[in-house]
Structure 1
Amino acid sequence: MPMGDWADVYSTARDIASLRDRYGLTSDNASVQAKFDQMMSVADALERNYDASTERVKNAELLRARLNEVTTPQQKEDLQLRYQQELIEQQNQQMRLANMQMLQQQQEKMENEKRAQAFSDYMNGKTSVRPSYD
């Protein structure tokens, strides 16, 4: 998958309406819907990453098989370079996926900390606004 396509994979501007139809996750509560939308966007990105990785594995297998068929040293060298490029792209995809997962975990952790702080502030009388966890 070309680099330009990766921006699309991780974009949250993905057609949310189609994801809502696909997964059937809708809510009348705006904050619940926002959480659903985030979860669906992540699931969609993971599926696209899986599809791209599967395609890279197929490409690498084809290149490896063709290495046994070529006859000239130049052809072998060209195929080896393409094979190495596929492997590097697979590693890049794995790193992107790991980074996306770490980012999601960090966001969840920060959200939990924010909720805990809001509850603590309410219980200690620092605010009269009762925390809402919609």
Structure 2
Amino acid sequence: MGDSVYEIRLEGVISAEKYSGLFGVVTVTPEKIISQLDEARKNPNVKAILIRVNSPGGSAAASQEIYEELKKVEKPVVVSVSEVCVSGAYYVASAADRIIANRSSSVGSIGVIMQIPNFEDLYEKLGIKYTTIKQGKFKTIIQLKLN
């Protein structure tokens, strides 16, 4: 077998867990990507790695883990973006030697987003009361912002 390019698909939400969310959405895990990187590194016929990305990002910790492993790769790494490569996915992609994207692709936007449902009105309507038990000065900082 001659020289080859190893293709890795990073598609979907990046998470430490294989399934995530209320509906059990399949995610991209560091374990999966790192095992593929190891396979590509060990194969002497693989001369470069192509990572096809279509991801809105996800867990910062999981993205960091993939990024760190990608930086260790001594073979050329190219990221090809189809539609979306933002947040944690862009962080991962930034470890590559080159990023290629369509003009219409969404690329960039490293940052943090947190969505917190506010059930105050529902709780009040249903007569539900809750008690917060905490340890640490800033553990309820989000509650302060919501109230």
Same fold (TM over 0.5): no
Q: Considering only CA atoms, is the larger Rg found in Structure 1 or Structure 2?
A: 1
